[in-house]
Amino acid sequence: MVKNLSFSYSKMGMYQECPQKYKFRYVHMLPEQPKSYFAFGTALHEVMEYIYNPANAAFPTLAQALDYFEKYWNKTSFEQKGYASAEKELAGYAEGRRIIEAYYAKYAASFFHPLSVEMKSTLEMDGLSLISILDRIDYLGDGKIKILDYKTGKAVPNTPEQLYMYQKIAENSPTVKALVQKQDPAAKELRVGQLSFYHLPTLEEVTFERVPDKEIFTFWQRVLQVADNIRAGKFDPTPGENQCRWCDYRNLCPVFTGKDYDPLGAKTAPRPAAVPPAPEPASEQDALSQKIDRCGALLEEAKHLQQEIIALMRKNHFERHFGKQFKAELSRVEKLEFTDKEKVVELLRTLKLLAKVLVPTQSTVAGLLADASVPAQAKAQLQAFARKTEEEKLNIEKAD
């Protein structure tokens, strides 16, 4: 029996953006770099699930929701979230609090329990194993439901194709039908009545009526065509300025390397580049630009390889390991993270230490703890605001 293809709207979107990118992510299983907008969106989705959880008899207060957000936010560092600095992460945290406070000001008096929140399901249909997470389903009565999808980006998507997928899944889902009939035993048929994108930063909702069956059929043919292309191994890259500029796999892509990626590291025969090779430099400035780009690409590839090496050494409980020419050694570096910047700044001002750090970043504040001129009592007060973490550092050098 042939196993159904694991599929979702996000996978379809990645394939349509670039089949080669899909191959790196879902065939070679190479993870993408963390993205701050994903971390920000996930945190707010968690808060919405916490607010509307049907299992809770009472809705949480604003203070409880903010506390929940803070605890979830602080589970990971700014690097793990994909922020470029602690300051940018702090700005993201402040924006999250602002959104939650504004949401409560607008809706707290009219909170109601939806049919479900963050419903995770897998539906087997048409040779696909459809994975979906429906942010919120409201019951409209008479067997009709409303599917609401939270958005946290700069703008709401121009096209509702993601909602097409959700309508198709919901109307064929035994799980959703069971939820409707549990709330309304008289309901004989399940149908989507409304579809919505809800933009949390602006508290604005864009609502669509149920998509006609003819449009769903046309959309579904495109879905099945993408699935057929994936099964057939059609992963030719589709390079373009926008999709290539921010792609995590740029330094592995045959468009830029001129050869197919080999997950085992074996040498591969060069293949024709999908875009014309870079011209010979016409001047020293052009040559310098090319060398900068090449150096940057090599540094990015080295960073990716280091993470793979660390993961393998952890898995095998190695502190040191040797290649034919180089050796790798793990060391652990202790870090202090000051999570409440406002309180730290106020304490530094009280202790008259603010001038010492100029800009109170994580590293400059941590440096005060090693400064002999800072009194021990002041260090102890600062230490109380710090969260101690440990990270592994990889050192690679020529083997003896």
Question: What confidence tens digit (pLDDT) does each residue in 246-289 have?
Answer: 899 999 999 888 888 887 764 444 444 444 444 555 667 767 76
SS3 per residue for 319-388: CEEECCCEEEEEEEEEEEEECCHHHHHHHHHHCCCHHHHCCCCHHHHHHHCCCCCCCHHHHHHHHCCEEE
**What local confidence, expressed as pLDDT, does residue 146 receive?**
98
Question: pLDDT for 74-86, tens place per residue?
Answer: 999 999 999 999 9
Q: Which of 158-167, 172-181, 201-210, 355-364 has the lowest mean pLDDT?
A: 355-364
Q: Look at phi and psi of residue 223 and say left if phi exceeds 0, alpha if psi is from -120 to 50, else beta.
A: alpha
Name the band, by pLDDT with cuts 50, 70 and 90, for residue 355.
low
**Distance between CA atoms of 89 and 93, rounded to whole angstroms?**
6
Q: What average pLDDT does range 20-42 have in this prediction? A: 95
Mean residue pLDDT across the chain: 87
Please, what's the b/e burial string for 67-88 (b: 16 or more CB within 10 A of its CB; e: otherwise)? ebbeebbeeebbeebbbeebee
Q: Which two tokens stand for residue 83?
A: 């922020």
pLDDT band at 1, cuts 50/70/90?
Answer: low
How far apart are the C-alpha atoms of 58 and 275, rounded to whole Å?
A: 59
Phi, psi of 229 (to 5 degrees): -65, -40
Q: What is the pLDDT of residues 309-341, one digit of tens each?
A: 887 777 777 777 777 677 788 877 776 777 776
366 or 55, which is more confident = 55
Q: Which residue would you say has higher pLDDT here, 197 or 265? A: 197
CA distance 211 to 193: 9
User: Which distant-in-sequence residues (6+ apart) come within 8 Å of 48 by Cβ?
Assistant: 117, 135, 136, 150, 200
Rounded to whole angstroms, the Cα distance separating 310 from 318 reads 9
Checking if the pLDDT of 105 tops 60, the result is yes
Beta strand pairing call for 191-199 and 144-151: parallel
Share of the chain above pLDDT 70, in %: 90
Query: What is the torsional sign of CA 74, 75, 79, 81?
Result: negative
pLDDT given for residue 395 in this prediction: 74
Burial class of residue 18 in the structure, from the number of CB atoms within 10 Å of its CB (0-12 exposed, 13-18 middle, 19+ buried)? buried
| CA 396/CA 400 separation, integer angstroms | 12
Query: 126 is written with which tokens?
Result: 């048409």
Domain ranges of the chain: 18-110, 116-230, 282-318, 326-398
Q: What are the two backbone dihedrals, phi and then psi, of residue 191, each rounded to the nearest 5 degrees?
A: -140, 145
